Amino acid sequence: MTPLRFTALLAATQLVIARPIAAPAKVTVKQGEQPTATLPKGTPQAHGLATNWTWSESSSVKSVSKNNGVPVSISQVDDLKKFARLATVAYCTDSFQGTSFTCKNYCSDFPGTIVLSTFDTPEYGTVGFIARNDNQKAIYVVYRGSSSTTNFAQDIKFATTSYPAGGEVHLGSFVGIPHADQWKITIFHIIVPGFYENYEESRDLVYNTVVSQMKKGYKLHLIGHSLGGSVAVLQALDFYQNAGFDNSNTITYTYGEPRLGDPDFARYVNKTGLRIFRTISMNDIVPHLPPSAFGYLHHSGEYWIKNSAGDVVLCAIADDDTCADSTVPFTSIPAHLLYWE
Ligand SMILES: *[C@@H]1O[C@H](CO)[C@@H](O)[C@H](O)[C@H]1NC(C)=O
Ligand SMILES: *[C@@H]1O[C@H](CO)[C@@H](O)[C@H](O)[C@H]1NC(C)=O
Protein backbone atom coordinates (compact mmCIF):
# COMPACT_ATOMS: atom_id res chain seq x y z
CA MET A 1 0.00 0.00 0.00
CA THR A 2 1.29 3.47 -0.77
CA PRO A 3 1.62 6.14 1.94
CA LEU A 4 -0.90 8.15 -0.03
CA ARG A 5 -3.64 5.76 0.86
CA PHE A 6 -2.86 6.11 4.52
CA THR A 7 -2.99 9.86 4.17
CA ALA A 8 -6.43 9.46 2.71
CA LEU A 9 -7.40 7.12 5.51
CA LEU A 10 -6.24 9.50 8.21
CA ALA A 11 -7.87 12.48 6.54
CA ALA A 12 -11.11 10.58 6.50
CA THR A 13 -11.00 10.16 10.25
CA GLN A 14 -13.14 13.03 11.34
CA LEU A 15 -12.45 12.75 15.05
CA VAL A 16 -9.88 14.73 16.91
CA ILE A 17 -6.56 12.96 17.10
CA ALA A 18 -6.02 12.90 20.83
CA ARG A 19 -2.73 11.06 20.74
CA PRO A 20 0.22 12.21 18.73
CA ILE A 21 1.30 9.43 16.43
CA ALA A 22 5.06 9.29 16.50
CA ALA A 23 6.96 6.64 14.65
CA PRO A 24 9.27 4.77 17.03
CA ALA A 25 12.92 4.35 16.19
CA LYS A 26 13.70 0.98 14.64
CA VAL A 27 14.17 -1.64 17.28
CA THR A 28 16.11 -4.82 17.08
CA VAL A 29 14.80 -7.60 19.23
CA LYS A 30 15.56 -11.23 19.48
CA GLN A 31 12.98 -13.27 17.66
CA GLY A 32 12.47 -16.02 20.15
CA GLU A 33 10.89 -18.68 18.01
CA GLN A 34 13.44 -21.38 17.40
CA PRO A 35 12.00 -24.73 16.32
CA THR A 36 12.90 -27.33 18.90
CA ALA A 37 13.30 -30.07 16.31
CA THR A 38 12.28 -30.96 12.80
CA LEU A 39 8.99 -32.68 12.19
CA PRO A 40 9.01 -36.37 11.40
CA LYS A 41 8.72 -37.07 7.68
CA GLY A 42 5.16 -37.12 6.46
CA THR A 43 3.72 -35.01 9.29
CA PRO A 44 0.81 -32.91 7.99
CA GLN A 45 2.04 -29.34 8.15
CA ALA A 46 1.60 -25.75 7.02
CA HIS A 47 4.49 -23.28 6.84
CA GLY A 48 6.75 -25.76 8.61
CA LEU A 49 4.33 -26.13 11.53
CA ALA A 50 2.48 -29.36 12.30
CA THR A 51 -1.24 -28.95 11.80
CA ASN A 52 -2.43 -31.75 14.06
CA TRP A 53 0.24 -32.65 16.57
CA THR A 54 -1.25 -34.38 19.60
CA TRP A 55 -0.48 -32.31 22.66
CA SER A 56 1.86 -33.92 25.09
CA GLU A 57 3.41 -32.02 27.93
CA SER A 58 6.38 -34.33 28.15
CA SER A 59 7.34 -35.26 24.62
CA SER A 60 6.56 -32.41 22.28
CA VAL A 61 7.66 -29.44 24.29
CA LYS A 62 11.11 -28.34 25.26
CA SER A 63 11.61 -27.54 28.93
CA VAL A 64 8.08 -26.55 29.82
CA SER A 65 8.92 -27.25 33.40
CA LYS A 66 11.63 -24.59 33.15
CA ASN A 67 9.48 -21.98 31.47
CA ASN A 68 9.97 -18.38 32.49
CA GLY A 69 6.25 -17.82 32.86
CA VAL A 70 4.85 -16.83 36.23
CA PRO A 71 1.76 -18.76 37.34
CA VAL A 72 -1.28 -16.52 37.49
CA SER A 73 -3.90 -16.55 40.21
CA ILE A 74 -7.08 -18.60 40.00
CA SER A 75 -9.18 -15.46 39.86
CA GLN A 76 -7.09 -14.20 36.95
CA VAL A 77 -7.59 -17.51 35.13
CA ASP A 78 -11.33 -17.26 35.81
CA ASP A 79 -11.30 -13.83 34.24
CA LEU A 80 -9.52 -15.09 31.12
CA LYS A 81 -11.98 -18.00 30.90
CA LYS A 82 -14.96 -15.74 31.31
CA PHE A 83 -13.97 -13.58 28.36
CA ALA A 84 -13.06 -16.65 26.31
CA ARG A 85 -16.73 -17.61 26.70
CA LEU A 86 -17.77 -14.20 25.50
CA ALA A 87 -15.44 -14.62 22.50
CA THR A 88 -17.29 -17.85 21.73
CA VAL A 89 -20.62 -16.04 21.75
CA ALA A 90 -19.46 -14.08 18.69
CA TYR A 91 -19.95 -17.32 16.73
CA CYS A 92 -23.66 -17.31 17.69
CA THR A 93 -24.79 -13.80 16.88
CA ASP A 94 -27.53 -15.23 14.64
CA SER A 95 -29.46 -16.29 17.72
CA PHE A 96 -29.65 -12.84 19.28
CA GLN A 97 -33.23 -11.58 19.42
CA GLY A 98 -33.30 -7.82 19.06
CA THR A 99 -31.43 -6.40 22.00
CA SER A 100 -31.85 -9.64 23.93
CA PHE A 101 -28.57 -11.42 24.53
CA THR A 102 -29.70 -14.98 23.95
CA CYS A 103 -27.78 -17.91 22.51
CA LYS A 104 -27.22 -21.59 22.96
CA ASN A 105 -23.81 -21.28 24.56
CA TYR A 106 -22.67 -18.75 27.15
CA CYS A 107 -25.03 -15.77 26.97
CA SER A 108 -26.60 -16.68 30.31
CA ASP A 109 -23.18 -16.23 31.95
CA PHE A 110 -23.56 -12.51 31.30
CA PRO A 111 -26.91 -11.54 32.83
CA GLY A 112 -28.04 -8.00 32.19
CA THR A 113 -26.23 -7.73 28.87
CA ILE A 114 -28.07 -5.98 26.06
CA VAL A 115 -27.09 -6.16 22.42
CA LEU A 116 -26.45 -2.77 20.86
CA SER A 117 -25.48 -3.95 17.42
CA THR A 118 -24.23 -6.90 15.45
CA PHE A 119 -22.13 -6.69 12.33
CA ASP A 120 -21.30 -8.96 9.43
CA THR A 121 -19.60 -6.87 6.83
CA PRO A 122 -20.65 -7.58 3.27
CA GLU A 123 -17.31 -7.64 1.55
CA TYR A 124 -14.91 -9.12 4.08
CA GLY A 125 -17.34 -10.83 6.39
CA THR A 126 -16.08 -9.63 9.75
CA VAL A 127 -18.61 -10.84 12.26
CA GLY A 128 -19.18 -9.66 15.79
CA PHE A 129 -21.31 -7.70 18.17
CA ILE A 130 -21.39 -4.69 20.44
CA ALA A 131 -23.15 -5.03 23.80
CA ARG A 132 -23.52 -3.20 27.09
CA ASN A 133 -23.89 -4.39 30.65
CA ASP A 134 -24.93 -1.72 33.12
CA ASN A 135 -24.44 -3.98 36.15
CA GLN A 136 -20.82 -4.46 35.15
CA LYS A 137 -20.46 -0.95 33.73
CA ALA A 138 -19.07 -2.64 30.67
CA ILE A 139 -19.19 -2.20 26.92
CA TYR A 140 -18.25 -5.31 24.98
CA VAL A 141 -17.04 -5.40 21.39
CA VAL A 142 -16.49 -8.99 20.39
CA TYR A 143 -15.06 -10.27 17.11
CA ARG A 144 -15.35 -13.75 15.71
CA GLY A 145 -12.42 -15.44 14.03
CA SER A 146 -12.22 -16.89 10.58
CA SER A 147 -14.92 -19.37 9.72
CA SER A 148 -12.35 -21.91 8.65
CA THR A 149 -9.25 -22.33 10.74
CA THR A 150 -7.86 -24.90 8.37
CA ASN A 151 -8.03 -22.54 5.43
CA PHE A 152 -6.74 -19.78 7.62
CA ALA A 153 -3.66 -21.71 8.66
CA GLN A 154 -2.95 -22.95 5.16
CA ASP A 155 -3.74 -19.82 3.22
CA ILE A 156 -2.41 -17.08 5.42
CA LYS A 157 -0.22 -14.64 3.55
CA PHE A 158 2.64 -12.76 5.11
CA ALA A 159 2.50 -9.36 3.43
CA THR A 160 2.73 -6.30 5.66
CA THR A 161 1.91 -2.65 5.25
CA SER A 162 3.14 0.38 7.22
CA TYR A 163 1.17 1.22 10.30
CA PRO A 164 0.73 4.97 10.76
CA ALA A 165 1.92 4.96 14.36
CA GLY A 166 4.99 2.91 13.64
CA GLY A 167 6.23 -0.35 12.26
CA GLU A 168 4.71 -2.76 9.85
CA VAL A 169 1.46 -4.59 10.41
CA HIS A 170 -0.09 -7.59 8.75
CA LEU A 171 -1.86 -6.33 5.68
CA GLY A 172 -4.94 -8.45 6.11
CA SER A 173 -5.30 -7.54 9.76
CA PHE A 174 -4.97 -3.87 9.17
CA VAL A 175 -7.53 -3.95 6.46
CA GLY A 176 -9.60 -5.93 8.87
CA ILE A 177 -10.67 -3.20 11.25
CA PRO A 178 -13.30 -4.48 11.27
CA HIS A 179 -13.57 -6.11 7.88
CA ALA A 180 -11.16 -8.96 7.78
CA ASP A 181 -12.39 -12.44 8.26
CA GLN A 182 -10.57 -14.37 5.63
CA TRP A 183 -7.10 -13.02 5.33
CA LYS A 184 -6.53 -14.46 1.93
CA ILE A 185 -9.48 -12.67 0.47
CA THR A 186 -8.75 -9.49 2.33
CA ILE A 187 -5.22 -9.25 1.12
CA PHE A 188 -6.31 -9.43 -2.46
CA HIS A 189 -9.15 -7.02 -1.90
CA ILE A 190 -7.04 -4.24 -0.56
CA ILE A 191 -6.20 -3.20 -4.08
CA VAL A 192 -9.83 -3.10 -5.16
CA PRO A 193 -10.96 0.51 -5.64
CA GLY A 194 -13.80 1.50 -3.38
CA PHE A 195 -12.47 -0.42 -0.45
CA TYR A 196 -12.14 2.61 1.77
CA GLU A 197 -15.81 3.50 1.61
CA ASN A 198 -16.52 0.04 2.85
CA TYR A 199 -13.82 0.27 5.51
CA GLU A 200 -15.02 3.56 6.89
CA GLU A 201 -18.60 2.44 6.99
CA SER A 202 -17.91 -0.55 9.21
CA ARG A 203 -15.18 0.93 11.35
CA ASP A 204 -17.49 3.82 12.13
CA LEU A 205 -20.20 1.50 13.40
CA VAL A 206 -17.95 0.12 16.12
CA TYR A 207 -16.21 3.38 16.82
CA ASN A 208 -19.26 5.62 16.99
CA THR A 209 -21.40 3.15 18.90
CA VAL A 210 -18.74 2.75 21.56
CA VAL A 211 -17.93 6.44 21.84
CA SER A 212 -21.62 7.30 22.22
CA GLN A 213 -22.22 4.55 24.80
CA MET A 214 -19.20 5.04 27.04
CA LYS A 215 -20.24 6.69 30.28
CA LYS A 216 -18.16 7.71 33.23
CA GLY A 217 -16.86 4.67 35.07
CA TYR A 218 -17.58 2.30 32.19
CA LYS A 219 -14.97 0.02 30.76
CA LEU A 220 -14.59 -0.98 27.13
CA HIS A 221 -13.77 -4.66 26.63
CA LEU A 222 -12.43 -5.59 23.21
CA ILE A 223 -12.45 -9.32 22.75
CA GLY A 224 -11.67 -11.68 19.93
CA HIS A 225 -10.70 -15.20 19.04
CA SER A 226 -8.14 -15.86 16.31
CA LEU A 227 -8.15 -13.22 13.61
CA GLY A 228 -10.84 -11.51 15.72
CA GLY A 229 -8.12 -11.02 18.34
CA SER A 230 -5.97 -9.09 15.87
CA VAL A 231 -8.91 -6.94 14.93
CA ALA A 232 -9.62 -6.31 18.64
CA VAL A 233 -6.05 -5.09 19.21
CA LEU A 234 -6.11 -2.83 16.16
CA GLN A 235 -9.45 -1.44 17.27
CA ALA A 236 -8.06 -0.83 20.78
CA LEU A 237 -5.22 1.17 19.23
CA ASP A 238 -7.75 3.12 17.19
CA PHE A 239 -9.64 4.09 20.38
CA TYR A 240 -6.35 4.95 22.05
CA GLN A 241 -5.25 7.19 19.20
CA ASN A 242 -8.53 8.81 18.26
CA ALA A 243 -10.78 8.78 21.32
CA GLY A 244 -8.12 9.18 23.99
CA PHE A 245 -8.99 5.85 25.61
CA ASP A 246 -6.29 4.23 27.72
CA ASN A 247 -5.88 1.42 30.19
CA SER A 248 -8.12 3.15 32.73
CA ASN A 249 -11.16 2.45 30.57
CA THR A 250 -10.09 -0.12 27.97
CA ILE A 251 -9.09 -3.74 28.26
CA THR A 252 -8.46 -6.26 25.51
CA TYR A 253 -8.66 -10.04 25.63
CA THR A 254 -7.46 -12.11 22.70
CA TYR A 255 -7.43 -15.88 22.26
CA GLY A 256 -5.19 -17.50 19.69
CA GLU A 257 -4.20 -14.15 18.23
CA PRO A 258 -1.88 -14.45 15.22
CA ARG A 259 1.23 -12.29 15.03
CA LEU A 260 0.04 -8.88 14.06
CA GLY A 261 3.12 -6.97 13.00
CA ASP A 262 6.84 -6.43 13.09
CA PRO A 263 9.05 -5.56 16.10
CA ASP A 264 8.48 -1.81 15.70
CA PHE A 265 4.75 -2.32 15.71
CA ALA A 266 5.05 -4.63 18.74
CA ARG A 267 7.04 -1.97 20.50
CA TYR A 268 4.42 0.63 19.68
CA VAL A 269 1.68 -1.60 21.10
CA ASN A 270 3.78 -2.14 24.24
CA LYS A 271 4.40 1.58 24.59
CA THR A 272 0.72 2.51 24.61
CA GLY A 273 0.46 0.76 27.97
CA LEU A 274 -2.90 -0.65 26.93
CA ARG A 275 -3.82 -3.76 28.88
CA ILE A 276 -3.93 -6.64 26.45
CA PHE A 277 -4.33 -10.19 27.66
CA ARG A 278 -3.12 -12.37 24.82
CA THR A 279 -4.01 -15.95 25.70
CA ILE A 280 -2.52 -18.91 23.84
CA SER A 281 -3.81 -22.43 24.34
CA MET A 282 -1.07 -25.05 24.55
CA ASN A 283 0.24 -25.78 21.03
CA ASP A 284 -2.32 -23.71 19.09
CA ILE A 285 -0.78 -23.15 15.66
CA VAL A 286 -2.23 -19.70 14.94
CA PRO A 287 -0.12 -17.58 17.37
CA HIS A 288 2.94 -18.87 15.47
CA LEU A 289 1.66 -17.40 12.22
CA PRO A 290 2.98 -15.58 10.39
CA PRO A 291 6.29 -17.17 11.44
CA SER A 292 8.79 -14.88 13.14
CA ALA A 293 11.22 -15.72 10.34
CA PHE A 294 9.07 -13.45 8.19
CA GLY A 295 9.78 -10.50 10.45
CA TYR A 296 6.76 -10.80 12.73
CA LEU A 297 6.84 -10.43 16.49
CA HIS A 298 4.16 -10.51 19.17
CA HIS A 299 3.38 -7.59 21.43
CA SER A 300 3.50 -8.20 25.17
CA GLY A 301 0.85 -9.86 27.28
CA GLU A 302 1.22 -13.59 26.60
CA TYR A 303 -0.84 -15.76 28.92
CA TRP A 304 -0.01 -19.33 28.04
CA ILE A 305 -2.28 -22.24 28.93
CA LYS A 306 0.65 -24.53 29.47
CA ASN A 307 -1.03 -27.86 30.13
CA SER A 308 -4.21 -29.79 29.58
CA ALA A 309 -5.23 -29.06 33.18
CA GLY A 310 -5.68 -25.48 32.02
CA ASP A 311 -3.00 -23.84 34.18
CA VAL A 312 -1.88 -20.46 32.93
CA VAL A 313 1.44 -18.66 33.12
CA LEU A 314 2.14 -15.04 32.30
CA CYS A 315 5.17 -14.85 30.05
CA ALA A 316 6.90 -11.56 30.75
CA ILE A 317 8.90 -11.70 27.53
CA ALA A 318 6.96 -11.63 24.27
CA ASP A 319 7.89 -14.61 22.10
CA ASP A 320 9.72 -16.20 25.01
CA ASP A 321 11.04 -19.47 23.71
CA THR A 322 10.17 -21.27 26.92
CA CYS A 323 6.48 -20.34 26.69
CA ALA A 324 4.15 -21.01 23.75
CA ASP A 325 7.04 -20.75 21.29
CA SER A 326 8.57 -23.82 22.91
CA THR A 327 5.95 -25.93 21.15
CA VAL A 328 7.19 -25.02 17.65
CA PRO A 329 7.00 -26.89 15.28
CA PHE A 330 4.75 -29.34 17.19
CA THR A 331 1.64 -27.26 16.76
CA SER A 332 -2.00 -28.03 16.12
CA ILE A 333 -5.07 -26.57 14.49
CA PRO A 334 -7.49 -28.40 16.82
CA ALA A 335 -5.79 -26.68 19.80
CA HIS A 336 -6.84 -23.37 18.25
CA LEU A 337 -10.44 -24.30 18.94
CA LEU A 338 -9.82 -25.45 22.49
CA TYR A 339 -9.54 -22.66 25.03
CA TRP A 340 -10.16 -24.62 28.22
CA GLU A 341 -13.53 -26.01 27.21
C1 LIG B 1 -6.04 -35.02 14.35
O2 LIG B 1 -5.56 -36.07 15.17
C3 LIG B 1 -6.56 -36.73 15.90
C4 LIG B 1 -5.89 -37.68 16.89
O5 LIG B 1 -4.66 -38.12 16.42
C6 LIG B 1 -7.51 -37.41 14.95
O7 LIG B 1 -8.53 -38.08 15.65
C8 LIG B 1 -8.12 -36.36 14.05
O9 LIG B 1 -8.94 -36.94 13.08
C10 LIG B 1 -7.04 -35.54 13.35
N11 LIG B 1 -7.69 -34.42 12.68
C12 LIG B 1 -7.30 -34.02 11.48
C13 LIG B 1 -8.03 -32.84 10.93
O14 LIG B 1 -6.42 -34.54 10.84
C1 LIG C 1 7.17 -5.71 24.32
O2 LIG C 1 7.11 -6.00 25.69
C3 LIG C 1 7.51 -7.32 26.03
C4 LIG C 1 7.23 -7.51 27.48
O5 LIG C 1 7.81 -6.52 28.27
C6 LIG C 1 8.99 -7.50 25.68
O7 LIG C 1 9.40 -8.80 25.98
C8 LIG C 1 9.15 -7.26 24.21
O9 LIG C 1 10.50 -7.34 23.87
C10 LIG C 1 8.61 -5.89 23.85
N11 LIG C 1 8.67 -5.78 22.41
C12 LIG C 1 9.40 -4.86 21.80
C13 LIG C 1 9.42 -4.95 20.33
O14 LIG C 1 10.03 -3.99 22.38
The atom of ligand 2 lying closest to the CA of 320 is: 7
In a domain, 29, yes or no: no
In a domain, 222, yes or no: yes
- CA-nearest residue for atom 13, ligand 1, is 52
Question: For position 2, what pLDDT does the model report?
Answer: 29
In a domain, 26, yes or no: no
- CA-nearest residue for atom 12, ligand 1, is 52
Q: How far, in Å, from the CA of 266 to the mean position of ligand 2? A: 7
Altogether, the residues listed in the chain come to a count of: 341
Nearest to 278 by CA among 316, 240, 246: 316
- CA-nearest residue for atom 2, ligand 1, is 52
- CA-nearest residue for atom 14, ligand 2, is 267
Helices and strands in the chain, H and E counts: 8, 13
Query: 199-229 burial, b if ≥16 CB within 10 A, otherwise e?
Result: beebbbbbbebbbeebeeebbbbbbbbbbbb
- Show pLDDT as tens, one digit a residue, over the chain (341 residues): 222 222 222 222 323 334 444 445 555 555 557 777 889 999 988 888 898 898 877 654 555 556 678 999 999 999 999 999 999 999 899 999 999 999 989 999 999 999 999 998 776 667 899 999 999 999 999 988 766 555 556 556 666 666 777 777 665 554 444 333 333 323 222 222 222 233 344 578 899 999 999 999 999 999 999 888 888 888 898 899 889 999 999 999 999 998 888 888 889 999 999 999 999 999 999 899 888 877 788 999 999 999 888 999 999 888 888 889 989 999 998 898 889 97
Ligand whose nearest atom lies closest to the CA of 272:
2
In a domain, 24, yes or no: no
Query: 80-113 burial, b if ≥16 CB within 10 A, otherwise e?
Result: bbebbbbbbbbbbbeebeeeebebeebbeebeeb
Query: Would the CA dihedral through 94, 203, 179, 335 be positive or negative?
Result: negative
- Give the C-alpha distances (Å, rounded to integers) separating 335 from 40, 42, 203, 289: 20, 20, 30, 14
Mutate to test the pocket of ligand 2, among 26, 29, 33 (most ligand atoms within 8 A of CB): 29
- CA-nearest residue for atom 13, ligand 2, is 267
166 Cβ inside 6 Å of ligand 2: no
The atom of ligand 1 lying closest to the CA of 150 is: 13
In a domain, 1, yes or no: no
- In sequence order, what E strands does the chain have? 45-46, 49-50, 70-71, 113-120, 127-133, 138-143, 160-162, 168-170, 219-225, 250-255, 275-281, 302-305, 312-315
154 Cβ inside 6 Å of ligand 1: no
In sequence order, what are the beta bridge partners of 303? 279, 314
**Cα 247 off chain centre by:** 17
Mutate to test the pocket of ligand 1, among 45, 49, 52, 308 (most ligand atoms within 8 A of CB): 52
Q: What is the CATH number of the domain that holds 196?
A: 3.40.50.1820
Say how far apart CA 137 and CA 114 lie, in whole Å.
Answer: 12
Question: For position 108, what pLDDT does the model report?
Answer: 96
Ligand whose nearest atom lies closest to the CA of 56:
1
Say how far apart CA 139 and CA 133 lie, in whole Å.
Answer: 6
Question: For position 219, what pLDDT does the model report?
Answer: 98
In a domain, 76, yes or no: yes
In a domain, 60, yes or no: yes
By DSSP bridging, strand 127-133 and strand 113-120 are antiparallel
- CA-nearest residue for atom 7, ligand 2, is 317
Question: For position 206, what pLDDT does the model report?
Answer: 92
What range does the domain containing 299 cover? 7-19+36-337
Q: Per the structure, how many domains does the chain have?
A: 1
Q: Is 318 helix (H, G, I), strand (E, B) or coil?
A: coil
In a domain, 140, yes or no: yes
For the annotated catalytic residues, the residue numbers are: 226, 284, 336
52 Cβ inside 6 Å of ligand 1: yes
Ligand whose nearest atom lies closest to the CA of 26:
2
Q: How far, in Å, from the CA of 33 to the mean position of ligand 2? A: 14
Q: How far, in Å, from the CA of 52 to the mean position of ligand 1? A: 6
**Longest CA pairwise span in the chain (Å):** 58
Question: For position 155, what pLDDT does the model report?
Answer: 57
Question: For position 43, what pLDDT does the model report?
Answer: 92
What global pTM score does this model have?
Answer: 0.84
